[in-house]
Amino acid sequence: MSSSKIQQWFPWTEAPVIVNAPMAGAVSPELAAEVSKAGGLGMCLLGCIADVSENSPQVTKLDADLTKIRQLLGGGDDDSADSTTTTTPSGRLRVGAGFLTCHPSIGSFAATALPVIRRHRPAAVWLFAPHEHIRPQGEIVRLLKGLGKDDEEGVTAPKVFVQVGNVAAAREALEDGADAVVCQGTDAGGHQYRRGMGVVPLLAETRRLVDEGGCYGGDEGVCVLAAGGIADGKSVAAMLTLEADAVVMGTRFTVAKESIVPDFRKQIILEASDGALSTLKSPFNDQIAGSALWGSLYDGRAVVGPIHEKFLAGASLDECWRELHEDHSPEEATRLINTWAGAAIGMVRKEQPAGEIVREVREEARQAIRKVAARV
């Protein structure tokens, strides 16, 4: 499947299509809007939402952020605005919204989150991280696809993206009815499958799975996206040769001017190099932060600091915990952990507007493809 398929779904995009990753604590309405304005797919707004319980502040904020996105894209205050700069020809808002499906509240999705999606009509919805004992994504995909039937004539359902880290998860996503499978390699920053694989074999195997399983996606087919360790145009070009329909970048966007990542964390990312040594993929990142959200299937990649070095030198989690909280002030402790970034961190060298990142990377990719084509 060529990249033209994803451009048919999202006709404002330009090839190669660049998507900003769904990063909680990083993505602002302004960032998502600027990515879409630059011909990319602005995704996930305030980041992936986990808590969808009744009266959840995260759902309330998503509602507010989608309203703001409409204004930023030129649609004004009216939810029914149909400006061509705001919506697709099918009536969908030119951004996506993301949800984590590992939170215990996910059973409330139909009652709390679905009405927000129905009201604002994002062009895509991104799902990630079903809990090992809760497998809600098949039902959520069904609910989302039902929106195309419930809405007025001409307004289609949002495209459903499912993020995966291994081929078994990709197969499950396809069987659940995903429109797009996001192949997240283990070089990615932030959270990912513990039993994951590099983006090259994951993308290749998933593409074969999609191509051989012609029933997936019906007449429209399924798009396959590459994510993890991609931070410049050359890496985008490499993913295109593996038949990725679009490419997702995360760490590069954490230092965008519109990113809400604190300045001190941006500086840590900008000063780092050699992602093999300066980042660590491990459950330790959640354990030292006291996060119980992710369960046993996932871990995360974050920037290494003194506490991580102590752990890598053989200290126990308890010893690291005591040092973090007894030897450092709360403010200092906050700065030592939770700077999430991928193994391509050394390729991220400057803070830029999000739209400029999209345009620069797209042009770099085009130049890289021309250069290689001239050599073969």
| Strands (DSSP E) found in the chain | 18-20, 42-43, 93-100, 122-128, 159-164, 180-184, 190-193, 223-227, 246-249, 279-282, 298-303
Cβ-contact 108, 66 below 8 angstroms: no
Backbone angles phi, psi at 331, to 5 degrees: -65, -45
Active site residue 131: no
Tokens of 332: 């200092």
Residues paired with 180 in a beta bridge: 161, 223
* Closest by Cα among 23, 43, 36, 232 to 124: 43
**Cα–chain-centroid distance for residue 117?**
18
In 3D, which of 87, 134, 140 has the Cα closest to residue 111? 140
Instruction: Report helix, strand or coil for 299.
Output: strand
Q: Which of 103, 120, 131, 191 is catalytic?
A: 191
Residues marked active site are found at 191
